[in-house]
Structure 1
Amino acid sequence: MSKLLVLLALRGRSLKDLHSVQDRGLKFSLGVHHAPSSNFSPELQQTLKSEQNFGRIEQLNTLVKRQRSWHNQHDQGKRQFCNYLLLDPRVTNELKQRAKRMHQLDIWLTFLRAIFYVGKGKSTRPLVHLQQAHKLLQTANPYVRVKDPKLALIVQIWQQQRGVLLLRGFRGISSNDAHTREAAMIDALGMNHLTNRRQGVYFGVARKKFTSVQRKLLGVGLLYNLLGVYMRSEERELQPEQVCSDKKIATDAAA
């Protein structure tokens, strides 16, 4: 799904002044907190309605294990891939440090709201996005920037003297497995919430046997697992100057 092809330059507005943009009826706000009911899938939204619903997330590990087991048994691809999330630190706001004083639903919601991109690839793949954003940071053409909402948001975060949060998980899996997990998390979060411009692709049992609802529930379970990774990891903001100099960006524990 293509979105945010904004003729910003024609309107004489800078990216720094951009709060929300709209294209083809889809609204996406850069760096603004969203009402979860207008962004997440119904399956993910349901987990935010009550403590009882939130407590049921762990039951989704049945789907996670079923998906993982299928790929372990039938997928012969090289296990060199992982999934990763890009998060906005202005939304997390040092979530780990604040978590002890927060309700579990607020922790979950804050984590979900902070995610603006879901990806898959080998170890250096996330750096490509940051390197592209670093190049755009040096330009003076805001129209070029907002062609890709992911890069636009990274640039805006940097312009506000903050750094992008990178969270890796599910290391050592095959390409098809990583594609499937990426697709499930994108479907759970919803395209209107994310800066991803394409929906993911499913493989294996998730493609052949899972219903549309089960795929989203798989994504919910995977996101919950990554919340655990986030809470165990050091929150490190990646600044523009680190993109080219730091070759070992993000050493998060594997999920």
Structure 2
Amino acid sequence: MSKLLVVVLTTVIGRPLLYQLSQSRGIKYSLGVIHMPSTNFSAELQHTLQSERNFASIEKHSNLVKQHSKWHWHHDQSKRLFFNYLLLDPRITNGLKNRAKSMHQLDVWLTFLRAIFYVGKGKSTRPYVHLRQAHKVLRSANPLVLAKDPKLALIVHLWKHQRGVLLLRAFKGISSNDAHTREAAMIDALGLNHLTNRRVGVYFGVARSKFTTEQRRLLGVVLLYRLLLIYLKYDERELQPANISDNLTT
């Protein structure tokens, strides 16, 4: 269905009838293609939301990931015990894996990106440290801590409303510097104004010495796209206070 036809149908018969028509004919459409959403994403990430062609071109920049990985494989001999992870808001994803089949690919992409509220790196049980900290705040109800750390504030807010936190771990078995660089690239792609991260990341290797600012953000875009593909393979599991153990260590 062309953008013009969607616009005409939306204007003439309204969205409800258009939705019924699209469902009966198995058509997937995106209102985001017509009315571009306002986001705090980087220009490079926003570009992928502007058209199907732009979205399909993401993997054209996969060579940046190859250059980055190759450099760390040959020059970084530190232990490969680290990974990257995302914290997501389940109110936004709302069972995205099951809904994705009837959604336009741009809407799936936008939903996934909007749901991400924290990008991190670590090893072992590192992601659960945030949840343990939030659990302590939940019990103490310390408003000063919540005011200083928007990440903890959001986690506590979700728990108070009987929702949980979604955790996605990926890129396992990489070095600390590799994980730092991937974290930095994804933060730069999404933008600090979108995230609860309080500082930008640190780059190492070829991404630091040779990549331009645009290439670093494009590296982040490709990594986020690959995380989307991983995310859509699994059912959502919300982490609640009951899942948090006080004996977790970093």
What TM-score range do you get, normalising by the shorter chain? 0.7 to 0.9
Partner of 1:151 in structure 2? 152
Give me the whole-angstrom Cα distance separating, in 2, the residues matched to 1:182 and 1:241. 28
**1:183-241, Cα deviation, whole Å (9 max, x unpaired):** 00000000000000010000000000000000000000000010011011231100011
The alpha-carbon deviation at position 136 of structure 1 amounts to: 0.4
Aligned residue for 1:112, secondary structure, equals: helix
**1:102-136, Cα deviation, whole Å (9 max, x unpaired):** 00000000000000000000021001000000000
Any unmatched runs of 5+ in structure 2? 1-35
Give me the whole-angstrom Cα distance separating, in 1, the residues matched to 2:235 and 2:184. 26
Q: Higher strand proportion, which one? A: 1
Partner of 2:100 in structure 1? 99
Partner of 1:183 in structure 2? 184
The alpha-carbon deviation at position 37 of structure 1 amounts to: 3.3
Give me the whole-angstrom Cα distance separating, in 1, the residues matched to 2:39 and 2:56. 23
When the two structures are superposed, what TM-score results if normalisation uses the length of structure 1?
0.81
1:128 aligns with 2:111: no
1:181 alignment partner AA? R
Any unmatched runs of 5+ in structure 1? 1-34, 248-255
**1:10-39, Cα deviation, whole Å (9 max, x unpaired):** xxxxxxxxxxxxxxxxxxxxxxxxx85331
Bigger Cα Rg? 2
Partner of 2:226 in structure 1? 225
Partner of 1:200 in structure 2? 201
Q: Higher helix proportion, which one? A: 2
Asked if 2 retains the 8 angstrom alpha-carbon contact of 1:88 and 1:115, the reply is yes
2:87 alignment partner AA? L
Partner of 1:79 in structure 2? 80
When the two structures are superposed, what TM-score results if normalisation uses the length of structure 2?
0.83
Mapping 1:213-252, distance limit 5 Å: 213-244=214-245
Give me the whole-angstrom Cα distance separating, in 1, the residues matched to 2:124 and 2:60. 30
Give me the whole-angstrom Cα distance separating, in 2, the residues matched to 1:177 and 1:36. 32
Partner of 2:212 in structure 1? 211
Asked if 2 retains the 8 angstrom alpha-carbon contact of 1:127 and 1:243, the reply is yes
Asked if 2 retains the 8 angstrom alpha-carbon contact of 1:36 and 1:45, the reply is no
Superposition misfits of 4+ residues, deviation over 3 angstroms = 35-38
Asked if 2 retains the 8 angstrom alpha-carbon contact of 1:37 and 1:45, the reply is no
Give me the whole-angstrom Cα distance separating, in 2, the residues matched to 1:246 and 1:144. 21
Aligned residue for 2:117, secondary structure, equals: strand
Q: 1:164 to 1:173 in 2, by over 3 A?
A: same
The alpha-carbon deviation at position 97 of structure 1 amounts to: 0.8
Partner of 2:33 in structure 1? none
Partner of 2:52 in structure 1? 51
Asked if 2 retains the 8 angstrom alpha-carbon contact of 1:39 and 1:189, the reply is yes
Aligned residue for 1:78, secondary structure, equals: coil
* Alignment size in residue pairs: 213
Partner of 2:31 in structure 1? none
